Amino acid sequence: MTDLRKLSIEQLTEALVSFGEKSFRASQVYDWIWAKNARSFEEMSNLSLELRKKLTSHFDINPAEIHQVQISKDGTIKNAVRLHDGFMVESVMIPTSERSTACVSSQVGCSLDCEFCATAKLKRMRNLEVAEIVDQVVLIHRQSLEFTGRPLSNIVFMGMGEPLMNFPNVVEAIRKISDPKALAMSPRRITVSTSGIPKMIMKLADEKLRVNLALSLHSAIEHKRNDIMPFSKAFSLEEIKNSLIYWHRETGSIITLEYCVWGGINDGKEDIEALLDFCQDVMVKVNIIQYNPIGEGKFARRNIDAEAQYIRALEKNNIPVTVRRSRGADIDAACGQLANKNL
């Protein structure tokens, strides 16, 4: 049976009219599935019993469910979310004193091979459906209300998977999350974080979604970045930079460059100079991420002194820079740590 949430509003209208219903019923059903996030037909109390029976005999609703919760000592919550076919993804709720952020997954596993990332060790099994992405947001919104008393304020596509490799579903999920008739969250509070696929960055800019873009850069030296993120051999740094220039021209929004500093990998003067050079002619801010090691390998050592040197050099060159403190490291919920480890 088809999940009702796979239907567009037009297809929903067509289905209801074929049941002999008035077309306005479609917006009532849409409201139940996308604004009220109904998880069953029984909840749709303003629909007649007869219509609910018809819907039940033709469609189903397959909500994603929280299977396991781990709470960090810093308040970060990692959820193992079970999908209708038994696959699991991880979604994280990161509370601070002013905001609650949901870090959501876009794929089961990942087809890319970033060396520092635990998710890369999992094979990509499939892309998430639109509803499965939206469900993570709804589940974390409810969790935020329960644990912090505040609604969800921000969403980052930084969980499992490369969002731009699940392009249509991620775009449609963002439309649903920001649709005033669905979740009605501001797209300005949504960030799509990509490992950097130039063609798709430009395509995302063309969608005019008004979301923010973050790029995992980690090195502005071509051969080093190719070692850190081997798939990126397919594109030059110049192509990536051009796509960022295009992004800014088309959307007006500043791009965040995500950057970890590892001892012996990207902690030299030449690395800092290459980053400063990359930041020329493109509107960016740099976010230094305090990396959480995922093992004993070459990415095990964060270089704190070099982080400070990066910050000084960026500030001196008037390039905005922030430092992202690690959250949820004790439960493997931090950046690069999502790997369904305890399931």
Q: How many CA atoms lie within 13 A of 269 on its CB side?
A: 0
| Binding footprint of ligand SF4, residue count (CB under 6 A) | 10
Considering only 36-44, 114-122, 243-251, 294-302, which stretch makes contact with ligand SF4 by CB under 6 A? Answer: 114-122
Considering only 27-35, 89-97, 113-121, 276-284, which stretch makes contact with ligand SF4 by CB under 6 A? Answer: 113-121
> Closest separation between CB of residue 14 and ligand SF4, Å?
37
| 95 phi/psi in degrees, rounded to 5 | -90, 140
Any contact of residue 119 with ligand SF4 (CB under 6 A)?
yes
Considering only 22-30, 107-115, 149-157, 319-327, which stretch makes contact with ligand SF4 by CB under 6 A? Answer: 107-115
* From 90, 132, 162, 258, active-site residue: 90
- Binders in 165-204 for ligand SF4, by CB under 6 A: 195
Torsion angle in degrees (nearest 10) through CA of 236, 237, 239, 240? 130
Considering only 48-56, 157-165, 233-241, 264-272, which stretch makes contact with ligand SF4 by CB under 6 A? Answer: 157-165
Q: Which of 61, 92, 100, 161 binds ligand SF4 (CB under 6 A)?
A: 161
State yes or no: is 90 an active-site residue: yes
| 276 phi/psi in degrees, rounded to 5 | -60, -40
Any contact of residue 92 with ligand SF4 (CB under 6 A)?
no
> Closest separation between CB of residue 119 and ligand SF4, Å?
4
State yes or no: is 335 an active-site residue: yes
Q: 83-116 burial by CB neighbour count: b if 16+ within 10 A, else e?
A: beeebbbbbbbbbeeeebbbbbbbbbbbebebbb
Q: Which of 77, 83, 140, 160 binds ligand SF4 (CB under 6 A)?
A: 160
What is the distance between the alpha carbons of residues 144 and 149, in angstroms, rounded to a whole number? Answer: 7
Beta strands in 83-205 (DSSP E): 88-95, 100-103, 107-108, 126-127, 154-157, 190-194
Q: Is 218 exposed, middle or buried (0-12, 13-18, 19+ CB in 10 A)?
A: buried
Question: Which positions are catalytic?
Answer: 90, 335
Interface contacts to ligand SF4, rule CB under 6 A: 110, 112, 114, 117, 119-120, 160-162, 195
